[in-house]
Amino acid sequence: MNGAHDVAFPEPEDQDIAAAPHDPIPYVDGNAAAGALSEIFRIDIIAALGRCRHCGSVRAFGAAMVFTDAPGIVVRCRDCQGVLLRLVQTPTRYWLDLSGLSYLEIDRGE
């Protein structure tokens, strides 16, 4: 899976999104979440390295699978499709869930 037309099929126990082989959900890469996340982090998150809590994979955030066809943004691990991050934005608040990441390593650019 490596493009805007890729699709993912979550495990049956995955309650975050519902898809089936006959009705896949399209996704884009981590760049799609960069704008919304830059409002919170005030950094370029695309190059940040994150470790998936589900499978242990370490990748740049820009390589993640981003699903935007929801009330918010869901970011999934490219290796195991586990949920890394959820972001919902309202006029007055952000709701950010990072529970799928063991860590997020951000270069200070020094």
Q: Residue 95 has what pLDDT?
A: 92
Encode burial over 29-58: b for 16+ CB neighbours within 10 A, e otherwise: bbebbbebbeeeeeeebbebebbbbbeeee
Q: How confident is the model at residue 44 (pLDDT cuts 50, 70, 90)?
A: confident
Q: Say whether pTM exceeds 0.85.
A: no
* Phi and psi, residue 63, nearest 5°: -85, -5
Mean pLDDT of the chain: 79
